[in-house]
Amino acid sequence: DAKTTQPNSMESNEEEPVHLPCNHSTISGTDYIHWYRQLPSQGPEYVIHGLTSNVNNRMASLAIAEDRKSSTLILHRATLRDAAVYYCILRDLIQGAQKLVFGQGTRLTINP
């Protein structure tokens, strides 16, 4: 299973941008980078994914390094509802079935 490395925790202030880093030095050419988040007492929730190019959606942006060995999830204006554990995942395929291997994630705290 491919591995990712994230800081255990980060803290930011409300309405400020947040940059959540992830290292994935063992990434292979076909691995997609997925980000999920888990709010307290809820199931994980998809945030964004990408392969090589930077990606934007309504929730966040994903900046992928040119060598693809690291990526950064960007929350442009954090709110209190963004407080969650954020997981950076390298999507694996088993006989065509998608397999997500979750790491420890980054616990994001948002200060009012």
Partner 1 sequence: DTAVSQTPKYLVTQMGNDKSIKCEQNLGHDTMYWYKQDSKKFLKIMFSYNNKELIINETVPNRFSPKSPDKAHLNLHINSLELGDSAVYFCASRPGWGSQETQYFGPGTRLLVL
- Return residues touching partner 1 (CB under 8 A): 32, 34, 36, 38, 41-46, 49, 85, 87, 91, 93-102, 104-105
Residue 87 beta carbon to partner 1: minimum distance, rounded to whole angstroms: 8
Residue 97 beta carbon to partner 1: minimum distance, rounded to whole angstroms: 4
Contact by Cβ (8 Å): 35, 86: yes
CB of 38 or CB of 72, closer to partner 1:
38
CB of 3 or CB of 17, closer to partner 1:
3
Contact by Cβ (8 Å): 62, 37: no
